[in-house]
């Protein structure tokens, strides 16, 4: 399946069936996504249950070998996967986008294959012994969003498989072909029944959440859907990992060098054209640096080409769907009518195909403006001026969500002292959103709970099992 045509042919619905997926940059039809019913879901869960005991009986070394071979398979089909991802999701091939995402899938698999998870000896003395080990949960249900459809699926699949679980995954209805393609490539090497992708809408996700044959649910998506999932999972007392929405603050301290950090701040905010859970979504800049920071960001934004994903020069793409385009443009308009200053962008061309919204920087905006207080999930960054550190820390912590955050400055001790006061699962210093497969990642407050990545991520798709004698 190294060619694009072969990959698409392997996954799409027969002619005249399924749902037509369109390229958000051009409106062109990408392919036909099959739709699965609840009966199909039942069958997939039954298959996953059946496959699970043999998969769990394999050793960690054997399963790690499968993950490494799965990474090889991705690398063998990388260009075809990136092309499909670019067409369906809209993200450009280049920049931190489609090729980067496919490459990250292989890296995450290899990292998960390499982690060591030894039994922990808790007690070993004259009173006796106690050992803590991690055993498979069983069948993992996974539900994902449309912004990083392949990478987030791998975040769910890789640790689950490594720990001896089987996986039934429901992709977003906006990007099913990308995830079906990923699954097809992985299934070239995985044993039958270990990984199944079941495309459908929110109702199918709800059925997976409520399913009695699913032991653990990993969800990445909005806070409101996460809340619905939590309610529904109560009946079966399913274990949950919830990676939900965020509205990450970035604080630029008085000793920061605006020119030096501008590109890092820009990509922290505009990675994947702003459609990233842990993107920098509100930037707080000390008054002494405010004008220089605004200017430096405008200079960077001017240099970043936006356009159709398959055109090699582009590094920013369209919004993935109309709904998200409307959210972003509505929030920018609200800020404009409240008197904010649009430094660049804010003027989408309505007469061209595609949901293109230009990279937009908004200055002189109040902290309680909806563009600051709500998750825009798109290419519009509000830049808020602050005077006192206590005030800005209060603003950063003032929302109900807490996924990521960042502090930008020259004195590392000072930056770390500020980082310690921020309510977020991760605080980066002089970077933002730089996830790493070895480093646990997760939210606090209404950004969810449970950790992904690293050895902690393996533990969260396993059951702790103590033996004491």
Positions touching ligand NAD (CB under 6 A) are 143-147, 152, 170, 172-173, 201-202, 205-206, 209, 220-222, 225, 228-229, 243-246, 277, 375, 377, 403, 443, 447
Structure tokens at 304: 């970043």
Give the residues across from 239 on adjacent strands: 216
Residues 6+ apart with CB under 8 A from 230: 240, 242
Comparing CB distances to ligand NAD, the nearer of 246 and 348 is 246
Comparing CB distances to ligand NAD, the nearer of 178 and 225 is 225
**3-class state of residue 176 by DSSP:** helix
**3-class state of residue 49 by DSSP:** helix
Comparing CB distances to ligand NAD, the nearer of 293 and 399 is 399
Q: Which residue is nearest to ligand NAD (CB)?
A: 205
DSSP 8-class letter at 18: S
- Give the helix, strand, coil percentages of the chain, each rounded to 5: 40, 20, 40
Minimum CB–partner distance for residue 202 and ligand NAD (Å): 3
Between CA 40 and CA 49, with CA 46 as vertex, the angle to 5 degrees is 140
Comparing CB distances to ligand NAD, the nearer of 201 and 330 is 201
Minimum CB–partner distance for residue 194 and ligand NAD (Å): 21
Phi-psi region of 112 (alpha: psi -120 to 50; beta: other; left: phi over 0): alpha
Distance of CA 423 to the CA centre of its chain: 20
Beta strands in 15-138 (DSSP E): 19-22, 29-33, 120-125, 128-136
Minimum CB–partner distance for residue 322 and ligand NAD (Å): 13
Q: Are 204 and 62 in contact (CB under 8 A)?
A: no
Structure tokens at 76: 């063998």
Comparing CB distances to ligand NAD, the nearer of 211 and 385 is 211
CA 99, CA 80: separation in Å to the nearest integer?
A: 10
Mapped to the 3 state alphabet, what secondary structure does 320-355 carry? Answer: CCHHHHHHHHHHHHHHHHCCCEEEECCCCCCCCCCC
**3-class state of residue 423 by DSSP:** coil
Minimum CB–partner distance for residue 143 and ligand NAD (Å): 5
CA 243, CA 223: separation in Å to the nearest integer?
A: 8
Comparing CB distances to ligand NAD, the nearer of 129 and 323 is 323
243 among known catalytic residues: yes
Minimum CB–partner distance for residue 428 and ligand NAD (Å): 15
Structure tokens at 149: 């459809």
Comparing CB distances to ligand NAD, the nearer of 120 and 326 is 326
Per DSSP bridges, beta strands 166-170 and 195-197 are: parallel
Minimum CB–partner distance for residue 448 and ligand NAD (Å): 6
The DSSP result for 68-123, as a single string, is HHHHHHHHHTHHHHHHHHHHHH---SSSSSHHHHHHHHHHHHHHHHH---PPEEEE
Q: What is the CA radius of gyration of the chain?
A: 23
Minimum CB–partner distance for residue 97 and ligand NAD (Å): 15
**Among the options 243, 259, 400, 414, which is catalytic?**
243
Which residues are catalytically annotated? 243
């Amino acid at each position: 399946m190294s060619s694009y045509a072969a990959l698409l042919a392997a996954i799409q619905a027969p002619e005249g069936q399924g749902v037509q997926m369109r390229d958000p940059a051009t409106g062109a039809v990408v392919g036909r996504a099959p739709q699965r019913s609840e009966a199909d879901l039942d069958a997939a869960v039954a298959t996953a249950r059946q496959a699970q005991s043999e998969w769990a009986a394999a050793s960690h070394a054997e399963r790690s070998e499968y993950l490494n071979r799965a990474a090889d398979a991705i690398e063998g089909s990388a260009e075809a996967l990136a092309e499909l991802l670019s067409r369906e999701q809209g993200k450009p091939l280049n920049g931190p986008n489609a090729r980067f995402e496919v490459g990250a899938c292989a890296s995450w698999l290899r990292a998960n294959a390499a982690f060591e998870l030894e039994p922990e000896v808790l007690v070993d003395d004259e009173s006796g012994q106690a050992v803590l080990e991690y055993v498979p949960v069983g069948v993992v249900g996974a539900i994902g969003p449309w912004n990083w459809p392949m990478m987030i699926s791998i975040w769910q699949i890789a640790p689950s498989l490594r720990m001896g679980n089987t996986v039934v995954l429901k992709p977003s209805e906006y990007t099913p072909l990308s995830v079906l393609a990923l699954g097809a490539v992985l299934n070239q090497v995985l044993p039958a029944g270990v990984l199944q992708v079941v495309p459908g809408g929110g109702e199918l996700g709800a059925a997976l959440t409520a399913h009695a044959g699913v032991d653990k649910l990993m969800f990445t998506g909005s806070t409101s859907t996460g809340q619905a999932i939590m309610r529904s999972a109560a009946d079966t007392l399913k274990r949950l990992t919830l990676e939900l929405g965020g509205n990450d603050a970035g604080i630029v301290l008085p000793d920061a060098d605006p020119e030096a950090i501008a590109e890092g701040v820009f990509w922290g905010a505009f990675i994947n054209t702003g459609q990233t859970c842990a993107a920098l979504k509100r930037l707080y800049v000390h008054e002494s640096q405010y004008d220089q920071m605004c200017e430096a960001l405008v200079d960077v934004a001017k240099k970043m080409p936006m356009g159709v994903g398959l055109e090699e020069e582009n590094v920013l793409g369209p919004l993935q769907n109309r709904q998200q385009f409307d959210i972003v443009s509505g929030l920018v308009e609200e800020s404009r009518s409240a008197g904010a200053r649009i430094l660049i962008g804010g003027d989408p061309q309505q007469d061209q195909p595609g949901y293109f919204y230009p990279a937009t920087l908004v200055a002189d905006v109040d902290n309680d403006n909806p563009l600051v207080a709500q998750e825009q999930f798109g290419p519009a960054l509000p830049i808020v001026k602050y005077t006192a550190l206590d005030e800005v820390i209060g603003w950063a912590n003032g929302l109900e969500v807490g996924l990521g955050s960042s502090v930008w400055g020259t004195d590392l001790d000072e930056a770390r002292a500020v980082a310690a006061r921020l309510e977020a699962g991760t605080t980066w210093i002089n970077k933002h959103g730089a996830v790493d497969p070895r480093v646990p990642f997760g939210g606090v407050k209404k950004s969810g709970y449970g950790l992904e990545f690293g050895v902690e991520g393996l533990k969260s798709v396993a059951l702790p099992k103590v033996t004491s004698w």
